[in-house]
């Protein structure tokens, strides 16, 4: 038996061959420190500069506004803690949503322990933040709004541009975690109107251990990591040249092939959903029916247990569950809880996410395997 069909692209992505080729010289030959002024540091320094331009080009900002990090989690920590500490004299209130990634929720929980106040906004039944709720939550002490661009579980795309108008009106900084949206939909910092934006390399067909943070020019944050002053003083530590080069190439590919990849992932996602709906009864779609990532399909099977379905399909199809069922309890994801998904539906939730390499044959086989497993459960 060969490898199972991979439908978990929101968890991580395989390395793009072009990314691997771009990284290879810096794994095999170019070992120099980009901070060194001698011959061995020249090419690594130029490579980091080029990677920075490529990341900036993907999100339509200046290269100087990009800071390389170890990944999306660090970028989120840097953004939220950096604003919180820098703006402490102005206020101590942060607005976020109940469906954020733990890399935001846990940061906010930490800040609450040291005296900050956090409002966790509810979402509607589609996982959408209401702009009116954001407006109602703003106080004279609000210093930051952090709302993800698109949700990792159900794919709902948030109204960031509208939230930005509110933030600007009140002089509040806006951060968005764009780990899931980059490379899947247009992610332009000017159109979105954000002050900070987080990037995760391994969601973009680059490697794990690298990411980036967009920091709007002129913004003052508290320094996240202290040391020799790399990354224009924002983040100390010798640059991870190998993976930075890979991230730069991944962003170049994402920009170049955005429309093609978006259309392909959407076609595969809809083919999967249509097939499962045809084969199975009582299937519920989670997330917004239209304002949703083109690759993300979160579906629930009524009165089924997702982990049992995954056990049956695991050797042939790889996916994620929206709930973990134990002997006497069911742990439903915080996203489904916030959306108010009934337990009899939530416990049978699968997240199926397509990617660039997903084929029609993969989808047709996955439909058969999943449908058979549901019918046997």
**111 torsion bin: left (phi>0), alpha (psi -120 to 50), beta (else):** alpha
Nearest to 78 by CA among 183, 198, 190: 198
Catalytic residues: 325
Which residues share a beta bridge with 173?
144
296-301/283-286 β-pairing: antiparallel
Q: How far is CA 33 from CA 25, 227, 282, in A?
A: 14, 16, 58
The span from the first CA to the last CA of the chain, in angstroms, equals: 23
Dist. CA 134–CA 210, nearest whole Å: 31
| Alpha helices (H) in the chain, listed in sequence order | 17-28, 39-59, 72-86, 102-113, 131-137, 160-170, 189-192, 241-256, 258-279, 306-313, 334-338, 343-346, 360-376
The enclosing H or E element of 143 equals strand 142-146
SS3 for 324?
A: strand
Dist. CA 219–CA 66, nearest whole Å: 12
SS3 for 182?
A: strand
- Please list, in sequence order, all residues whose beta carbon lies within 8 angstroms of the beta carbon of residue 342, skipping any fewer than 6 positions away: none
Nearest to 214 by CA among 15, 324, 58: 58
CB contact at 8 A, 164 and 325: no
């Amino acid at each position: 038996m060969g490898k199972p069909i991979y439908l978990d692209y929101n968890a991580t992505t395989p390395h793009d061959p072009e990314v691997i080729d771009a990284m290879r010289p810096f794994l095999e030959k170019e070992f120099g420190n980009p901070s060194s002024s001698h011959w061995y540091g020249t090419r690594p320094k130029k490579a980091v500069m080029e990677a920075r331009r490529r990341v900036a080009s993907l999100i339509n900002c200046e290269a100087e506004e990009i800071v390389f990090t170890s990944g999306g989690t660090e970028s989120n920590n840097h953004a939220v803690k950096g604003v919180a500490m820098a703006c402490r004299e102005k206020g101590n209130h942060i607005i976020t949503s109940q469906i954020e990634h733990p890399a935001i929720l846990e940061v906010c929980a930490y800040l609450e322990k040291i005296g900050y106040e956090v409002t966790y906004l509810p979402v509607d039944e589609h996982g959408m933040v209401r702009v009116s709720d954001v407006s109602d939550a703003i106080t004279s002490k609000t210093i930051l709004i952090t709302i993800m661009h698109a949700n990792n579980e159900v794919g709902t795309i948030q109204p960031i541009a509208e939230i930005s108008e509110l933030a600007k009106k009140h002089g509040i900084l806006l951060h968005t975690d764009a780990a899931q949206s980059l490379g899947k939909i247009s992610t332009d910092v000017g159109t979105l109107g954000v002050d900070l934006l987080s990037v995760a390399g391994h969601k973009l067909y680059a490697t794990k251990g690298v990411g980036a943070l967009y920091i709007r020019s002129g913004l003052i944050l508290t320094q996240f990591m202290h040391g020799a002053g790399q990354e224009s003083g924002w983040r100390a530590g010798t640059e991870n040249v190998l993976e930075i080069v890979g991230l730069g190439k991944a962003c170049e590919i994402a920009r170049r092939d955005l429309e093609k990849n978006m259309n392909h992932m959407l076609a595969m996602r809809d083919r999967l959903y249509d097939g499962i709906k045809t084969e199975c009864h009582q299937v519920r779609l989670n997330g917004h029916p239209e304002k949703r990532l083109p690759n993300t399909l979160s579906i629930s099977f009524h009165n089924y247990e997702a982990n049992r379905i995954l056990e049956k399909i695991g050797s042939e199809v790889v996916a994620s569950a929206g709930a973990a069922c134990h002997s006497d309890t069911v742990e439903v994801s915080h996203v489904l809880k916030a959306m108010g998904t009934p337990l009899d539906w939530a416990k049978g939730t699968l997240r199926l996410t397509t990617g660039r390499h997903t084929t029609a044959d993969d989808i047709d086989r996955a439909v058969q395997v999943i449908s058979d497993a549901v019918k046997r459960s």
